[in-house]
Chain A
Amino acid sequence: MKIPLIYNARSVLQRPVSTALTALGIGLVVAVFIGMLALANGFRAALRRTGSDQNALVLRRGADSELSSGIDRATASILAASPHVATGPDGRPMVSPEVYVLIPLSRRGADTTSVANVVVRGIGEAAWKVRSNLQIVAGAPPKSGRAEVCVGTKMALRFPGTDVGQMLRFGGRDWTVVCQFTAGGSAFESEIWGENEQFMPVFRGEVFQSVSFRLRDPAAFEEAKRALESDQRLTVDVHRESQFYAEQSQVLGRILEILAFLITSIMAVVAVFGAVNTMYAAVAARGPEIAVLLTLGFHPRSVLLSFLIESALIALVGGVIGILLALPINGIVTSTTNWASFSEIAFSFRVTPGLLMAGLAFAAVMGTLGGFFPAWRAARMPVVQALR
């Protein structure tokens, strides 16, 4: 026979301070757990969204990032003429040979030493069509042949001189900002875009760093990859764009997750110890009560279960507190250098429903763990002694 839940609820309310302290402790652990994973999650999501399944990214063979790659004009032309490249509505190939460099920019408001490496991407005309999640939110795209740039909205937030109509100085000349764009929260939003032909002479000369193109048939990626990589005229690696950018988040994403795991597990031990103390005290203080329950004929198993539930209940309250503490960080924009590309990327903390459920489950586990031995003691309490 089960002991009714109301018994636990009332017992918990008998010692409000102790319960609140324990729950709050668990809540803090859950908040840190959710917060750190939301950070890792947001970072990964930003890079995952950068690439598209439908696109391929071509780099020089052996290059592990756009920065270390180099593609000459001849290679770019061969790629553009490939049958694996989709054709746009205007009959032209949907391909964008791109210049990719990093420039140092001082952050808004900060001291002069606070410099970030910002990506400057010189795009082909078709880039706005090759990448489907782009949207210009202010101004109009740069015109060919002009020293004009378009900046990502997340980039614009953090650096001065990025409003439409303002001037940005880099690569030894001034560039007029003519528009701002969003890209579905992806890493592109941390970049400065302009025409590739404009950037070539001021940066690295007659060379592109990468070529992105829309696949004619996204399902036939492997076939396109094989065809291009075995082409005698080319020394390139072909990556699926989505996968390439997702891989760029691997190193830092892993570090963040390991850090989250290490920190929260140490904190969890502390919280579990707190729960153990609380539950032992509860069992000790309610000795006669438990003896009465056992005398009334409740099975020791029911007593065990009842105390486990009580502990889990306290923990769940803590879990809810943790969720409430962690929710406000959702959407907060932060930035860090992605060491895989050496550029600074801004991204938002991402608290997902799954993460919240994980936090709640984590709380329940802590509660159950903390409650087990005290509950065990309660179930095995010698009735006569306890009643005396």
Chain B
Amino acid sequence: MKFLHLVLANLGRHKRRTFLTTASVALALFLFASLRTVVTTLAATAQFGSARRLVSDNATGIVFPLPLSYANKLRAVPGVQAVSWANWFGGRYGDNKRFFAQFAVDPESYLEMYPEISVPEDQKQAFFREKSSALIGRRLVDVFGWHLGQDVTIQGTIFPGDWTFTVRGIYTPTDASINDDMLLFRHDYFEERLGRPGVAGWYVVRIDNPEHAAGIAKTIDDQFRNSSAATKTGTEQAFNASFATMWGNVSLLMGTIGFAVVFAILLVTANAMMMSARERTREVAILKTIGFTDRTLFGMVMLEAAGIALTGAAIGLGGAKLLYQATNFNAAGFLPGFDVTAETLVLGAAIALLLMLASGLVPAVRAARLPVVQALRRVE
């Protein structure tokens, strides 16, 4: 468009206003992207789970364990290919300022069950060999500066006392929804220190065919229904989804705030565009007199609005994407895999377009319809 330089000149006339408005759009869309990413990350965690893994826990509640003797019985269930188990430990490290989860896991079967937890082979073997060893997530290396071979002491809150583990491996999750800040230690060591109570927090079971999931889950639950500890078995995905619902109405809250943010920015940009247009009434009249068509003037105002909205959006959305990527943000372990999705970026761009229309339309129409004689007659 040959009038582009005129649009740019108009944007440059009130440099401060253009800058402030663009910066506002950028900030608002940054905030929008952040809030929406909280929602999408939670949804992704709820969606996570292999269709071939089932989780069995105590039907009475998450705090109740299951007998370790169930492992063999589970292996005998038709369709079950592998069985592993884990226990929540719930310890605190140092001043407990940075919380992270610890689990006692059955070493071989657990790492075999979760190929998403990737550990170098030699470190894996070291973990299998040494009873008091532990695997730590890559992030814990960054947070605490731990290294291979280091002894780490955790105070148990559920299982009292100081527990010292030697870091023998550092894992990297290959799926973003798996926390990269867990500490995994050996279940046999856990059992030994507690005097062999023979308990597992929950079982993870790999099945041969995802389509048999419901049937196998029912077989398992039926088998233990009348024993001392009844089980509740479901797909791993359902297990994770029920955890995600514990947050309550977080999504609604984030959505409401996001809406308020978008609306507030609409007000600011619309106001700025209208102010600019009002100041230029005479000018528009002159342009019309020298032969600019209504349509050209309409286009110029819209283009100006587009310049502000789209530049702001690019900065805000791109900034959010890059910032969270660069800082590897995960909300202290609560939101693993926090990453601005493509869908969020598209949605943000759509908001920017809407912003352009809503803020540009009124001034643009006004400019196009301006009666020349009246506008020129007005004394400024």
Let me know if B246 and A344 touch, CB within 8 A. Answer: yes
Q: How far is the CB of A288 from chain B (nearest CB, A)?
A: 10
Q: Which residues of B contact A203 (CB under 8 A)?
A: 60, 64
Within 8 Å of chain B (Cβ to Cβ): is A267? yes
- A277 CA to B241 CA, complexed, in Å: 46
Residues of B63-102 whose CB lies within 8 A of A: 63-64, 90, 92
Structural contact, B17 and A336, CB atoms closer than 8 A? no
> Are A25 and B30 in touch, CB under 8 angstroms?
no
Assess A21 versus B264: contact at CB under 8 Å? Given A114-B242, A270-B28, A334-B248: no
Q: Is the CB of A28 within 8 A of B160?
A: no
Q: Shortest beta-carbon distance, A351 to chain B, in Å?
A: 15
Residues of chain A contacted by B60 (CB below 8 angstroms):
101, 103, 170-172, 202-203
Given known A-B contacts A25-B264, A102-B63, A266-B30, A64 and B249 have beta carbons under 8 A apart: no
Bin the interface of chain A by size. Answer: 35 or more
**Is A267 in contact with B261, judged by CB distance below 8 angstroms?**
yes
B235-248 vs A, Cβ < 8 Å mask (1 yes, 0 no)? 00010011001111
The listed residue (A60, A102, A342) touching B160 by CB distance below 8 A is A60
Residues in chain B near residue A21, CB distance under 8 A: 267-268, 270-271, 274
Q: How far is the CA of A295 from the CA of B245 in the complex (A)?
A: 67
- Report A56-91 residues with CB < 8 Å from chain B CB: 60-65, 67-68
Q: A171-B60, A274-B271 are in contact. Are A266 and B242 (CB under 8 A)?
A: no
Interface string of B158-187 (1 = CB under 8 A from A): 101000000000000000000000000000
B253 to chain A, nearest CB (A): 7
Which listed segment binds B: A29-37, A45-53, A301-309?
Answer: A29-37
B11-30 contacts to A, CB under 8 A, are: 16-17, 20-21, 23-24, 27-28, 30
Instruction: Give the residues from 311 to 327 in chain B that come closer than 8 angstroms, CB to CB, to chain A.
Output: none
Bound CA–CA A71/B270 (angstroms): 64
Give the number of A-B contacts (CB < 8 Å): 151
User: Does B157 contact A63, Cβ atoms closer than 8 Å?
Assistant: yes
A367 to chain B, nearest CB (A): 14
In the complex, A280→B275 CA distance in Å? 10
Whole-angstrom CA separation of A171 from B246 in the bound complex: 20
Task: List chain B residues, Cβ under 8 A from A54.
Answer: none
A29 to B24 CA separation, bound complex (whole angstroms): 13
Closest residue of chain A to B22 (Cβ to Cβ) is A273
CB closest chain-B residue, reference A25: B267
B246 cross-chain contacts in A, Cβ below 8 A: 116-117, 336-337, 344
Contact of B62 with A104 in the complex, beta carbons under 8 Å = yes
Shortest B268–chain A CB gap in Å is 4
Task: Contact check, B248 vs A337: say whether CB atoms are below 8 A apart.
Answer: yes
The CB with the most chain A CB atoms within 10 A, among B64, B260, B263, B271, is that of B271
Query: Assuming A32-B257, A64-B157, A274-B271, is B241 touching A117 (CB within 8 A)?
Result: no
Residues 245-293 of B contacting A (Cβ, < 8 Å): 245-250, 253, 257, 260-261, 263-265, 267-268, 270-272, 274-275, 279
Query: In the complex, A110→B296 CA distance in Å?
Result: 55
A263 in contact with B257 given A102-B63, A104-B62, A337-B248 (CB within 8 Å): yes
Is the CB–CB distance between B260 and A22 below 8 Å?
no
Residues of A within 8 A of B245 (CB): 107, 110, 113-116
Contacting B at CB under 8 A, from A331-347, are 334-337, 342, 344
A127 CB-CB contact with B under 8 Å: no
Contact assessment for B274 and A65 in the assembled complex, using a CB-CB cutoff below 8 Å: no
Which B residues are in CB contact (< 8 Å) with A116?
Answer: 245-246
Q: Does B156 contact A (CB under 8 A)?
A: yes
Q: A32 to B258, alpha carbons, bound, how many Å?
A: 10
Taking A21-B267, A170-B60, A273-B23 as given, write out 18 further A-B residue pairs in contact, using a Cβ cutoff of 8 Å, ordered by the A residue number: A18-B271, A28-B260, A64-B92, A68-B158, A103-B60, A110-B245, A113-B238, A116-B246, A171-B60, A172-B59, A172-B230, A204-B64, A263-B31, A266-B31, A270-B27, A274-B267, A274-B271, A274-B272
Q: Which chain B residues have a beta carbon within 8 Å of chain A's beta carbons? A: 16-17, 20-21, 23-24, 27-28, 30-31, 35, 59-64, 90, 92, 155-158, 160, 230, 232, 238, 241-242, 245-250, 253, 257, 260-261, 263-265, 267-268, 270-272, 274-275, 279
A and B contact pairs by CB, cutoff 8 A, 7 listed: A60-B160, A68-B90, A267-B28, A270-B268, A276-B20, A277-B20, A277-B272
